[in-house]
Structure 1
Amino acid sequence: MIAFAKKNTAFKLVFLSVFTLALSARAQDAAKFPLIPYPSQLTAGEGSFVITGKTNIITAKEFTNEAGELNTLMLKALGKRLLIVKGNKPRAIKLVYDAALTAPEAYKLNISKSQVIITAKDPAGVFHAVETIRQLLPVSVEKGIVSKSLTLPAVTIEDQPAYAWRGMHLDVSRHFFSISYLKKFIDRMALYKMNKLHLHLTDDQGWRIEIKKYPKLTEEGAWRTFNNQDSACMKRAKDNPDFVIDKEHIVQRNGKTMYGGFYTQQEMKGVVAYAAARHIDIIPEIDMPGHMMAAINSYPFLTCNGENSWGKLFTKPICPGNESTYEFAQNVFSEIMDIFPSKYIHIGGDEVDRTTWGESEACKALMAREGIKDLPALQSYFINRMEKFFNSKGRKLIGWDEIIEGGISPTAIIMYWRTWVPDAPVKAVKNGNTVIMTPGEPLYFDNQPDQYSIDRVYHFNPIPKVLNAEEAKSIIGAQANIWTEMIPSEKRADYMYMPRLTALAEMLWTNQPDKYNSYLQRLVKQYSRMDAMNINYRLPDLPGLLNQYVFTDEGRLSISKPLPSLTIRYTTDGTLPDVKSPELSSPLSIKKSELIKVAAFTPNGTRGDVYNLNYTQQQMLGTVKVAPPKPGLVCSYYKAAFKHTSLMQDAKVDSTFTTNAISVPATVKAPSFGIAYKGYIDVPSDGIYSFYLTCDDGGVLKIGPTVTVDNDGNHSAQERSGQVALKMGLHPFALDFIEGGGGFKLLLKYSLNGSEPKEVPGEWFKN
């Protein structure tokens, strides 16, 4: 036994040494090759390859366009294009065709001291290799700073994507974005090997693409007076300049201030060509039968009754009972297909208020004639008919997941977004449909990012757990959606999708969750490249901050810099920190209740998020006596919709139950509801307790007589936090949670005296 123990110990030491060396090698690779997305296989070499103005490019005829893109990169870096020559020249960059690389978009990149060889079958693979080279070059390349020579580290890479659909979506209807910004957006997608750009071109708030047969769509539908979304942005712009509406889209017409804009067909064809050169497919979306107010304003014949107004939740749709509707739709999509060569066309199909259809004689007659049993099936009739038209033109229809409700053909492509209908993608797959995953959590990039956003995106698994390996092949990838109701400027758009796009790119290309720590290291290196590209990305979160703090004698504020180049500044007078505010270079002593505002600043003065830190001096709360306490919390369940938790007080209780877990029971099926958890929390020792409450939609936590965490209102999943000083024993506990509809999340964690947060033990809850 002793001999075995010695051998076992020796083995462990050898294993630990090898494991430590492997980790060290990974860290070194992440530092030397800060690539996002990380390649499928990477082996570091010795030495480097130097590119000068005398370096040649040798290319197979299949890769002429990609050789041009490589030369565009060289022009920025060296101030001149490299000669493209034939034959076998020494110290050259070679683009080699290899039919054996059968995986779509795959490539091999071999950089040695003597040459660079890019091998691929697809032109897209060569382009991805060029973007890999771009990331290996100094960030000065992005600024167009010319050098006499460029150095590439020696490396061998074999690479291919995990998913075919690696997409980003941009809504240009709610707020409009310029042609120049679309091209910037495409460049950034290309850098991180994304390949699908879904443009949401029309909605209630604006029609953004020229349709020559219906000129009023842009003459009138592309413009509006400021609406409630614009007003909300203007209000927020007082504290955050990113919410200032881009002035280039504001004009004066007939004495009115109008917001809007549109793309001519010629302009958009230029954008399509620009994207295609970078192997990005632009998928247009003309959303119908709902979300058509901008079109109906100019062409009221599209509705069943000539009215154009909001229903209970959504605007009135176009009418599937009238043949004129199909004539309009086919004419519009015919022109769209002339602009966009993509085999995919998105028809929307979401959030349709079908009330007027049920009242329409034309719809009733159509339903009787076609044997259509209900209004969801009538919507499916419209979608299926449009799909046949698309197919006749050699195109494939994509729709949001609502289109499966009334029955859909298996050839339609489903884009899943409704997180509160988790079986929708499964039903689509079982029906034979191809599915693209775009769930609101975590892939709606218009949702406010927080300290967990990147982690959630990186670890998102597009494959529903209930699908088997064969069924999983129907999930072809994912995309992030940027809805722009509250994104009025290009700077705000940058902030919302960067750096989340990088996490999505690596998840869809590399698909190796164990590389997350390596990704975080590489992301730090990417920030300087984003700076050089003038991307208004969201600065890394200041770590470990709470919304509410308490202290008994003295509080101390100390913040670690997430990036060495940042400066952290603060104010105590209620004003927003600026570049002249005091720097938090050492721990700050706090001896009275006050509000401290802190923010990080980049070297060029760009301010990150402002954190409001409320400090309250408090004596430790004394305990209460309950004899004898029972396990669990008593819960009241309300089957109704609430905008704020306080509204539950006057509502009728639907049922009650007892639980020792802060979570929504699986038996709750109502789309909108409220739950009030009441009782006591039995803490095991004296101390400052921090509580972290994550809610979608809202929640308020009270421990003792006052609110500990306020996370109220209807919003997407977000964490709010607070502290309370507690003596060991029982304290009154109340947590009110509301769900307004659209998927929910409820999670409560705690920490004691700054320890690592963890879930509250169920045995702490009493009643």
Structure 2
Amino acid sequence: MFKHYFSTFLCALIFLWIPALAAAQTIDTKYALIPYPTSLTSGEGSFTITRQTKLVLPKKSGVFSNEAEQLQYLLAGSLGKPLKQAKKGTSNTIVLQYDKGITAAEGYSLTITPQQVKLSAREPAGMFRAVQTLRQLLPVSIEQKKSAPDTQLALPALQIQDEPAFGWRGMHLDVSRHFFSTDYLKKFIDLLALYKFNKLHLHLTDDQGWRIEIKKYPKLTEEGAWRTFNNHDSVAIKMSVENPDFALDERHIVQKNGKTMYGGFYTQAEMRDIIAYASARHVEIIPEIDMPGHMKAAIDSYPFLTCGEAGWGETFSVPVCPCNESTYEFAENVFGEIIDLFPSQYIHLGADEVEKTTWANSPACQQLMQREGLKDVDELQSYFIHRMQKFFQSKGKKLIGWDEVLDGGISPEATVMYWRSWVPDAPVRAARNGNEVIMTPNSPLYFDALPDKNAVYNVYHFNVVPKGLNSAEARNILGAQANIWTEYIPSENRAEYMYMPRMTALSEVVWSKQRDYASYLQRLQSHYKRLDALNVRYRLPDLEGFMDVNVFTDKTTLNLQKPLDNLIIRYTTDGSQPGASSKVLDKPLIITESTTIKLAAFTPGGLKGDTYTLLYEKQAYARPAKVANAKAGLQSMYYKGAFRTTKGMQSATPAGSTVVERLQVPQEAKAPSFGVQFRGYLEVPETGIYSFFLTCDDGGVLRIADRLVVDNDGLHPPIEKSGQVALEKGLQPFELDFIEGGGGYTLKLLYSKDGSQLQEVPQNWLKH
């Protein structure tokens, strides 16, 4: 179900004609730029753009005609008409200047004085990045459609020298599981351009749908682009009852042969238009046709592609057969059309999550493996990948594969996309092997993972270059991208909620050479207004001032901290969802009895944030247990197997038990799937109300003093949930159940008391 640090090299500072800029500078938060430039120096005054301002393209600047057009389009929407163009001028001008001294391909300089704006670059891509910086410095009003044009636009005087830290700054979109229109792809590309991304990885095919026209095999889209509602659709439809963002897009639902079908595809003409649109904005589109696995949509139409069986295996769909020459003929024909269509130097083969059982059982595969000296099916997959790589190379293209391509051996010429965070040495092995590596670890760069209050923080603090590489090896890390898998993202609104504002955090990670999270958060405040103007349905910042489970002994107060001044907080106490007509929470709320409160934030424009369900429970302090000779550590029982919830362990037999000194998964509990039950006591040092914060991937349930404190159960990415409990001093019974469903896991428990700083539960508190 799920798939899936950067480029070139770290560039040296240039523009030595201003020596003061060579030193590292602090980030000035009054300039709301994301990503923040390499260096920025404030000036005095401002430059005012009016209809009398001229756009100047001196000699040699004709190479920037596309970028001049982009700037004109931006300004004309606000001023009502484009600027007059000239070949020279020094006063009241915006100058696009060719500068051969700028060595970085996407580097630029921007100088704004009260007399003139000068954008300088060597390459068109650098000039385009300069235009986007100018765009962010301009008022938000330039993004809005208006009946009366602006008479003037002000720009602050400053000087910027800028270039990216990494050459691969990407976003990925899965259009197979759920389909997105050509118009939406253009909107997405515009957002990528605004935040200086330069790669769009399109996942065009998978088991659930084939989305690109292949003229030689018309049934791939005639049949493979359409499906009756599947399990992903049914989950989305159910969730849409309370959240309309989960509703299937009706534009992609049709009646075919008496059946209601979901789907869609891009004709090659439509895709050429999208590619041209992206190219004008210096965004390279990398196509992915996923082989040899995840090919059910193709196999259903062309059954000859398998080793004799079709459908689903134990874990994934049955793949194409790498032992039949007809498979390679099909693959080369398909990729031949893809290569002719996409100008990108990269073609993504996928090659992840391959169910190889049919290969192991195939006489043809056994013969091929014996003939080629292949010892197992992993090497058979490598055989397939090597053949496709040779074909790509014959067409002047580079192959990209998910990091499973490493398992059976891979040539140094292939590019590896690292996604399995539970295989931490994979990018190091690949880089040392000479492979280019693109970092896309599922934690924190799978933006289909449900965001919580730590999601943006986790993205911003991601280190692109993994530890353990020397400087030469580190140059093989091209950069990073975030992936958006759309099994449960059926609409454009839901997609924007999932990737925004996380995408802005990633943009700074892969572009900026210096980072400051507090500054970034302050600058982000201004970007919400720009996103509003661009009609982006972003996730509102989290509300704070409460827990998921709130405990009090007499009374307590709900006193919210609003992250944005313009938010309106509405709430209910009857279990219903807060809506536009619900009560407004505009002052502290006194609570004296156990109750459940649901609340949500709304913007003046009607955008609704997450619904928070707050449980308030009136409790007496739990009395401690009387235990003689309590020993250090917790008893932990571990279970083999996959559990959907922690309750599954109740009917299972433990594989063993051990004592752990701290709250950590015992070494005996082996991946990929297991469960652990921790049992013992907390030696509470003083009476009070304690807050606990449990982060789990996958599920966890915390009970203290026989009271449910945190319920973070189920299969999900790392999510933090919180709760409180009233405890007397002494030994309090402690139970924590944890399950891992497959892949990498996270288990972290923090606590605080009376609003103190979060910290780990001390080791000397744990007893059994």
Mapping for residues 625-664 of structure 1, pairs under 5 Å: 625-664=626-665
SS across alignment from 2:428:
helix
Mapping for residues 555-704 of structure 1, pairs under 5 Å: 555-665=556-666, 668-704=669-705
- Measured against aligned partners, the alpha-carbon deviations of 1:648-684 in whole angstroms (never above 9, x if no partner) come to 2332322322223112245654321122111100111
- Measured against aligned partners, the alpha-carbon deviations of 1:442-463 in whole angstroms (never above 9, x if no partner) come to 0000000110011100010011
Amino acid paired to 1:566 = L
Q: Equivalents in 1 of 2:168, 2:653: separation in Å?
A: 47
Aligned to 1:10: none
Percent identity, aligned pairs only, is: 60
SS across alignment from 1:646:
helix
Aligned to 2:253: 250
- Measured against aligned partners, the alpha-carbon deviations of 1:378-437 in whole angstroms (never above 9, x if no partner) come to 000101110110011010000000011111110000000001111111111121100000
Shift of 1:365: 1.8
Aligned to 2:22: none
Aligned to 1:282: 285
- Measured against aligned partners, the alpha-carbon deviations of 1:682-730 in whole angstroms (never above 9, x if no partner) come to 1111111111111111111110122211111111111111111001111
- Measured against aligned partners, the alpha-carbon deviations of 1:339-372 in whole angstroms (never above 9, x if no partner) come to 1100000000000001101111221221122111
Aligned to 1:14: none
Query: Does residue 1:766 correspond to 2:767, yes or no?
Result: yes
Amino acid paired to 1:408 = I
Aligned to 1:190: 193
SS across alignment from 2:528:
helix
SS across alignment from 1:30:
coil
Which of 324, 331, 350 is the matching residue for 2:333? Answer: 331
Q: Equivalents in 1 of 2:579, 2:549: separation in Å?
A: 22
Query: Does residue 1:114 correspond to 2:112, yes or no?
Result: no
Shift of 1:232: 0.2
Mapping for residues 527-546 of structure 1, pairs under 5 Å: 527-546=528-547
Would the aligned equivalents of 2:240 and 2:246 in 1 still touch at CA under 8 Å?
yes
SS across alignment from 1:229:
helix
Aligned to 1:317: 319
Shift of 1:753: 2.1
Q: Equivalents in 1 of 2:596, 2:506: separation in Å?
A: 36
SS across alignment from 2:508:
helix
Amino acid paired to 2:206 = D
Q: Equivalents in 2 of 1:561, 1:354: separation in Å?
A: 52
Mapping for residues 168-207 of structure 1, pairs under 5 Å: 168-207=171-210
Aligned to 2:303: 300
Aligned to 2:19: none
- Measured against aligned partners, the alpha-carbon deviations of 1:172-209 in whole angstroms (never above 9, x if no partner) come to 00000000000000000000000000000000000000
Query: Does residue 1:501 correspond to 2:499, yes or no?
Result: no
Aligned to 2:238: 235
Amino acid paired to 1:219 = E
Q: Equivalents in 1 of 2:293, 2:204: separation in Å?
A: 14
Q: Equivalents in 2 of 1:46, 1:706: separation in Å?
A: 62
Aligned to 2:494: 492
Amino acid paired to 2:424 = P
Unmatched runs of 5 consecutive residues or more in structure 1: 1-24
Would the aligned equivalents of 2:649 and 2:675 in 1 still touch at CA under 8 Å?
yes
Which of 265, 270, 274 is the matching residue for 2:268? Answer: 265
SS across alignment from 2:103:
coil
Shift of 1:102: 0.9
Q: Equivalents in 2 of 1:703, 1:550: separation in Å?
A: 13
Mapping for residues 119-198 of structure 1, pairs under 5 Å: 119-145=120-146, 146-198=149-201
Would the aligned equivalents of 1:56 and 1:89 in 2 still touch at CA under 8 Å?
no
Aligned to 2:523: 522
Amino acid paired to 1:321 = C
Shift of 1:374: 0.9
Q: Equivalents in 1 of 2:650, 2:451: separation in Å?
A: 31
Aligned to 1:719: 720
SS across alignment from 2:291:
coil
Distance 1:652 1:663, change over 3 A: same
- Measured against aligned partners, the alpha-carbon deviations of 1:125-180 in whole angstroms (never above 9, x if no partner) come to 10000000111111111113321221111010000000100000000000000000
- Measured against aligned partners, the alpha-carbon deviations of 1:47-67 in whole angstroms (never above 9, x if no partner) come to 111111222222212211111
Shift of 1:265: 0.2
Range with greater deviation from structure 2 (203-212 or 365-374)? 365-374
What number of residue pairs does the alignment pair up?
Answer: 739
Mapping for residues 416-431 of structure 1, pairs under 5 Å: 416-431=418-433
Aligned to 1:3: none
Specify which structure has the bigger relative contact order, considering alpha-carbon pairs within 8 angstroms and separated by 6 or more residues: 2
Q: Equivalents in 2 of 1:85, 1:366: separation in Å?
A: 67
Q: What TM-score, normalized by structure 2, do the two folds share?
A: 0.95
Would the aligned equivalents of 2:671 and 2:743 in 1 still touch at CA under 8 Å?
no
SS across alignment from 2:382:
helix
Unmatched runs of 5 consecutive residues or more in structure 2: 1-24
Distance 1:88 1:691, change over 3 A: same
Q: Equivalents in 2 of 1:469, 1:707: separation in Å?
A: 50
Query: Does residue 1:731 correspond to 2:732, yes or no?
Result: yes
Which of 365, 376, 379 is the matching residue for 2:367? Answer: 365
Shift of 1:89: 4.8
Amino acid paired to 1:30 = T
Amino acid paired to 2:611 = V
Amino acid paired to 2:694 = L
SS across alignment from 1:743:
coil
Which of 193, 212, 226 is the matching residue for 2:215? Answer: 212
SS across alignment from 1:415:
strand
Aligned to 1:8: none
Aligned to 1:477: 479
Range with greater deviation from structure 2 (284-293 or 617-626)? 617-626
Aligned to 2:3: none
- Measured against aligned partners, the alpha-carbon deviations of 1:91-141 in whole angstroms (never above 9, x if no partner) come to 211111112211120000001111111111111110000000111111111
Q: Equivalents in 2 of 1:690, 1:530: separation in Å?
A: 35
Aligned-pair Cα RMSD in Å: 1.2
Amino acid paired to 1:318 = V
Q: Equivalents in 2 of 1:84, 1:48: separation in Å?
A: 22
Mapping for residues 452-467 of structure 1, pairs under 5 Å: 452-467=454-469
Amino acid paired to 2:43 = G
Would the aligned equivalents of 1:186 and 1:275 in 2 still touch at CA under 8 Å?
yes
Would the aligned equivalents of 2:104 and 2:163 in 1 still touch at CA under 8 Å?
yes
Query: Does residue 1:62 correspond to 2:79, yes or no?
Result: no
Would the aligned equivalents of 1:26 and 1:518 in 2 still touch at CA under 8 Å?
no
Mapping for residues 63-82 of structure 1, pairs under 5 Å: 63-82=64-83
Shift of 1:81: 1.1
Amino acid paired to 1:300 = P
- The runs of at least 4 consecutive aligned structure 1 residues that moved more than 6 Å come to none
Would the aligned equivalents of 2:621 and 2:727 in 1 still touch at CA under 8 Å?
yes
Range with greater deviation from structure 2 (170-179 or 713-722)? 713-722
Q: Equivalents in 1 of 2:354, 2:671: separation in Å?
A: 20
Shift of 1:26: 5.9
Amino acid paired to 2:220 = L
Q: Equivalents in 2 of 1:403, 1:511: separation in Å?
A: 31
Aligned to 1:30: 29
Q: What TM-score, normalized by structure 1, do the two folds share?
A: 0.95
Shift of 1:84: 2.4
Amino acid paired to 1:354 = K
Shift of 1:640: 2.4
Q: Equivalents in 2 of 1:673, 1:72: separation in Å?
A: 56
